[in-house]
Every structure is written in C-alpha cells, then in structure tokens.
C-alpha cells in the first residue's frame, strides 16, 4: 500500500490555498501547424477580512499542509493553453476543463501538489452551494465505477465515488479519465465558482490510483509537442481597487510560452522517484546574507501551485526572521508565523541547485496586523511523523516570481526569469476568463491503472509508455506463456511483453497484468527481481505497481 504521508500529501494540495481561484477559458480550435492552446488564469480579489479572519486562515493553512504532506527526434505534435483566474488576491489560481458527452465546463483549482481530479456532483449535500455541479445522468459516456473515494484535508474532507468519462482541457482530451464525483464537501473547501480540483502531480500519490489527466497526455506518443506543463502567475496582492476576479496568468501543456520568460529555463531533476514535484533546496539568502538550512533529504521541497505560502522547518524559518530586525514569533492564532516591521522590505532568494530566484518583498508580506506590524508569508511547517514528508512546501508566494515548468521526462522542474510581457500583467485590472468549452486537437487513452478489468501497463524507466490489451488477448497471452502464480519471468513471457510494449531487451521493465479479482494477477517488477501476487484486488496491484 502507499505510505501514509503520500496519501495525505495527495489529499491536501488543493485546499492549502487560503484564497480562491478562478477558471480558465478553453481556447478555440487549433489549426494544423499552429501552436496549441494557452490557458489564461483569473485571480479573484480578497474579501474584506479582519485580523481574526486572517489568523484563523493562517492556522488552517499550517494544519492542512501538515496533514497533506504527512503530519504523522523532434516532431511537431500539439500544444495547449488555459487562461487562469486569480482568486482572492493571489490566494489561489484556477482554470477550466470540460467533462462528459456533451461536454460541460467546470472551474477547478490547478494543483501540482496532488494527483486526483474531483468535482462536486448534483447529489452533493454540503459545501457545494452556488457552484456548477456534475450531473452524471446528462453524460452518455459516463461510467460509474462503484468505488468509494475520500480525501482528507486539514480543515475537512471531500468524499464521493469514482467514475470514468471523457475529460478535455486546452484542446486535449482523455476518453476514459477516472475521477471522483464528490457528494460530501466540508464547509469552506470550495469557493464559488470553483467546482473541484485537478491534481497535476504523479500517479504514485493519487488516492484514487488513477493515472492523472496530465500524465496520460504526457506519456502518449504524438499528443504533446514537448512533455512539459508551465505556469505564469500574476500578482494582485499589492494592487489597489482589485476586483473579485482578475486575470491570473497562463497554464500551458505541451510547450513553454517563450514570450512569458527571458533567458534559459534552468531544469533540476527530481531527486527521488516521482511523487510530488520535489526539488532539493540548496541555499537561501535573506537581506543578502546566506542562512543555514537543512541538507540532504531534509532539504526536499515540494513545488506546489495549490499552496499559497511557503512552509519550512522551524530552524530555517527562525533563521530567516533572525535577519529581520524587529521580527518576533507569532503567538496564539499566529503560532508558527512571524511578525516583522511593515516598513522593512524583505528580500529573500532561493536556489535549488542552480541560479538563485528572488521573492518580491510584496509577496513576502502576508497581511498587515497593525499600522506597524506585518505577518510574513514564510511559516513553520509542522514536522512530519517519522520524518518522511518533504521539509519544505513552496507555493505561490515564490511561484509568482518565476516562470515554472514541470517536465515529465526526464522528471524535473524548471524555472526562468519572467519577461517584461509577463511582469506587465501584474496588478492590471481586466476581465477574468470564463469557463468555456474548446475544440479537441489531440486525444489519448488512460492506461489500465488500478481498476478491475484486464489490461497491461508497460513502463520504461525513463520514458513511460502505456498500452492496453483486451480481455481475450490477455487470456491468450497467459495461455501462450503458461503463466502461473510462481513463474512470471519465462523467456517467452518477457518476449511477448517486450513486443507488446515496444521495449528493447536492455531496458529495465515493469509490467503488470490486471485481471478480474477471481483470476490470477501477476506483477513482475523490473525484470531482474520479479514479484508475483495471486491476489487480484486492485489495491494490491496498484501498490505493487508504484515505484
């Protein structure tokens, strides 16, 4: 089974944002030979909040992240763009996607800190007022998988059942995407008009076990021009006369928008098996002075678009504020945060093994408590149980200052300096994008995942590839190779698997045969060290599959 901290982390990302997000409109059709779609983001201005409101939010943010991260040969293919909405003064950013046949548009938070897609449906009884709801009966292609789903957050939970249907976004479509139709949502988890969340992390932390929408597209040959997603987020935190919904920037799939950054993109590889988008934080300066931060695995940082602030180890946060005269630990509702003089412009720069990236003083300031005292946007992230979770969670406070790229292969995260074009969007009043349905320029089919039914999943070490076989073909494969519970590495078996998956013999291979629970289920991991199981339950297969 997946470890507890992975499940918790997958659950938490969406709701870690204190502010709201707004949907991105889908672009129109993509003409042959032209670049793909771009997704505009919308930002929503914050409602009037008292200091007590901010304090309650701040504590909820800490609790949420603690739980989520484990408290306890080039060829032109296709590209897509989704405009984002900035909700509640940089608190969260959301875009839009469409589900079903005929397609219906929904606003969803875009969250690189989790891996599940879920939306509220018409049977929802709590926490879902004034938002668009999924009506299962209205889609001719929706299939109820009759499997329960639940995600726990620091401030509540979302629960429902798993379904499968066509999902499209920014000109891309997955015909059999597994996601959750949620009928129970804790109060405050969603802010209108957002109907759910789209997880953009790796399948290894998906509570549902399903392959994430983005990962199916990135791994499908010929779907994306390049195996990347990118974000450019706007800043309205320090703007005046901000509306509830403001343009939030851009989310792209399959390419990077060269007009939104300058110079080169510095990519740093994920240091461990992909789960979250983890990087190793190598150094940090505050007011131009280097501070001491943890090293090794204690320096792992989750790059999380679904989190508003930056959380880190107690010692490191203390060292940050030690460089700011007049700062002090927060007390009461502000425990875990620090106050500092509002007239101090705080300059923080962070490196993840390459260049140092600066955080604007405007982003460092979370809220003003009085005429002289402000609260910083860097806070103490509670230690995880057993120390298995990432020590840092780096959210939008940092990400608004860079052009960020999330690359499928090799698994890595890249940052680049924002261009003048991108910077000119900050604080500029405009019409927020609305949820719309665009045309599909490329489609893909999700792999077998961890669900009942026959299928074969082939995964390269460096370039995963997914394929499926029908029940009859799988049964013939089993018969032809005389596969038994105790023998899953015969030469003929491996030959057929290599042929099916298009593998070369020198590649390390992981393959899994999924059959109905009553049948034999076998999983051979990486060829050299086979692991065979006779239990056909999906959970067993899924946990065996994850690396």
User: How far is CA 6 from each of CA 100, 198, 385, 414, rounded to the nearest angstrom?
Assistant: 30, 17, 12, 23
* Whole-structure pTM value: 0.73
Known catalytic residues are 111, 304
What gap in Å lies between CA 530 and CA 547, rounded to an integer? 13
What's the token pair of residue 114? 């989790």
What gap in Å lies between CA 212 and CA 199, rounded to an integer? 7
Alpha-carbon torsion angle 49, 55, 61, 66, nearest 10:
-170
Closest CA to 220 of 175, 166, 252, 269: 175
Q: What is the DSSP letter of 227?
A: S
Common-topology check for domains 77-227 and 261-418: yes
Q: Per residue of the chain (547 residues), what is the pLDDT tens digit?
A: 223 333 333 333 333 333 333 222 233 333 333 344 555 554 444 445 677 767 776 766 676 666 666 644 323 357 888 888 888 777 889 999 999 999 999 999 999 999 999 999 999 988 888 899 999 999 999 999 999 999 875 556 889 999 999 999 988 999 999 999 999 998 878 888 999 999 999 999 999 999 999 999 999 988 999 999 999 999 988 777 777 778 889 999 999 999 999 999 999 999 999 999 999 999 999 999 999 999 999 999 999 999 999 999 999 999 999 999 999 999 999 999 999 999 999 999 999 999 999 999 999 999 999 999 999 999 999 865 455 679 999 999 999 999 999 999 999 999 999 999 999 999 887 777 776 666 565 667 776 433 222 223 333 233 333 344 333 333 333 333 333 333 334 444 444 444 443 333 332 223 333 322 222 223 322 232 222 223 322 222 222 222 2
pLDDT in tens, 480-502: 333 333 333 444 444 444 444 33
Closest CA to 40 of 52, 53, 25: 25
φ and ψ of 428, to 5 deg: -90, 115
For residues 109 and 12, the answer to whether their CB atoms sit within 8 Å is no
C-alpha angle 28-210-141 in degrees, rounded to nearest 5 = 55
Q: How many separate helices (H) and strands (E) can be counted in the chain?
A: 10, 31
**Residue in this structure with the two tokens 């397609």, named with its chain if needed:** 103
Write down the pLDDT at residue 337.
Answer: 97
What gap in Å lies between CA 177 and CA 140, rounded to an integer? 14
Residues β-bridged to residue 168: 98, 173
What gap in Å lies between CA 502 and CA 293, rounded to an integer? 45
Write down the pLDDT at residue 67.
Answer: 63
What CATH architecture does domain 261-418 belong to? Beta Barrel (2.40)
Q: At what angle do helices 491-501 and 471-481 cross, to 10 degrees?
A: 150
CATH fold label, 77-227? Cathepsin D, subunit A; domain 1 (2.40.70)
Q: Parse the chain into domains and list their residue ranges.
A: 77-227, 261-418
**Residue in this structure with the two tokens 């629960």, named with its chain if needed:** 159
DSSP-derived pairing of the beta strands 261-269 and 412-418: antiparallel
What gap in Å lies between CA 370 and CA 142, rounded to an integer? 53
**Quick one: how far is CA 457 from the chain centroid?**
23
pLDDT in tens, 36-95: 455 555 444 444 567 776 777 676 667 666 666 664 432 335 788 888 888 877 788 999
What gap in Å lies between CA 288 and CA 293, rounded to an integer? 15
What's the token pair of residue 378? 């860097």
Helices (H), 71-212: none
Cβ-based neighbour number of residue 98 at 10 Å: 20
């Amino acid at each position: 089974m997946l470890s507890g901290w992975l499940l918790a982390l997958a659950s938490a990302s969406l709701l870690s944002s204190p502010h709201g997000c707004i949907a991105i409109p889908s672009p129109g059709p993509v003409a042959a030979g032209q670049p793909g779609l771009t997704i505009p983001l919308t930002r929503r201005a914050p409602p009037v909040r008292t200091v007590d409101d901010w304090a309650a939010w701040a504590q909820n943010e800490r609790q949420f992240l603690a739980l989520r991260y484990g408290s306890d040969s080039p060829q032109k293919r296709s590209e897509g763009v989704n405009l984002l909405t900035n909700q509640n003064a940089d608190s969260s950013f959301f875009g839009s996607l469409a589900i079903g046949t005929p397609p219906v548009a929904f606003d969803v938070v875009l969250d690189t800190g989790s891996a599940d897609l879920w939306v509220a449906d018409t049977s929802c009884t709590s926490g879902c007022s004034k938002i668009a709801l999924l009506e299962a009966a209205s889609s001719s292609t929706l299939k109820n998988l009759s499997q329960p789903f639940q995600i726990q957050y620091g401030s509540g939970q979302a629960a429902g059942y798993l379904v499968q249907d066509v999902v499209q976004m920014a000109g891309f479509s997955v015909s059999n995407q597994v996601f959750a139709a949620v009928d129970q949502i804790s109060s405050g988890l969603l802010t209108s008009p957002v109907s759910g969340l789209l997880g953009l992390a790796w399948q290894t932390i998906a509570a549902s076990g399903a392959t994430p929408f983005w990962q199916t597209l990135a791994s499908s040959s010929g779907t994306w021009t390049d195996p990347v997603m990118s974000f450019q987020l706007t800043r309205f935190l320090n703007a005046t006369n901000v509306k509830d919904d403001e343009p939030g920037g851009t989310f792209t799939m399959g390419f990077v928008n060269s007009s939104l950054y300058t110079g080169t993109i510095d990519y740093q590889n994920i240091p461990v098996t992909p789960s979250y988008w983890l990087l190793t934080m190598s150094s940090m300066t505050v007011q131009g002075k280097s501070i001491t931060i943890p090293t090794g695995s204690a320096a792992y940082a989750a790059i999380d678009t679904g989190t508003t602030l930056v959380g880190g180890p107690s010692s490191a946060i203390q060292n940050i504020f030690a460089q700011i005269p007049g700062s002090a630990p927060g007390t009461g509702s502000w425990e875990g945060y620090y106050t500092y003089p509002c007239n101090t412009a705080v300059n923080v720069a962070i490196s993840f093994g390459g260049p140092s990236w600066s955080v604007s003083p405007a982003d460092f300031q979370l809220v003003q408590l009085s005429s002289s005292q402000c609260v910083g946007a860097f806070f103490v992230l509670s230690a995880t149980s057993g120390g298995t979770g990432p020590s840092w969670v780096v959210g939008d406070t940092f990400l608004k200052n860079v052009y960020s790229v999330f690359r499928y292969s090799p698994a890595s995260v890249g940052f680049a300096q924002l261009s003048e074009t991108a910077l000119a969007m900050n604080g500029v009043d405009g019409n927020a994008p609305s949820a719309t349905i665009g045309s599909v320029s490329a489609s893909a089919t999700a792999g077998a995942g961890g669900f009942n039914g026959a299928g074969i999943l082939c995964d390269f070490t460096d370039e995963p590839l997914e394929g499926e076989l029908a029940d009859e073909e799988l049964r013939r494969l089993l018969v032809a190779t005389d596969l038994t519970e105790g023998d899953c590495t015969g030469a003929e078996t491996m030959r057929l698997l290599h042929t099916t998956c298009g593998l070369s013999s020198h590649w390390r291979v992981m393959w899994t045969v999924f059959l109905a629970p009553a049948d034999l289920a076998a999983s051979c991991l990486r060829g050299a060290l086979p692991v065979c199981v006779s239990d056909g339950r999906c959970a067993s297969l899924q946990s065996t599959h994850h690396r």
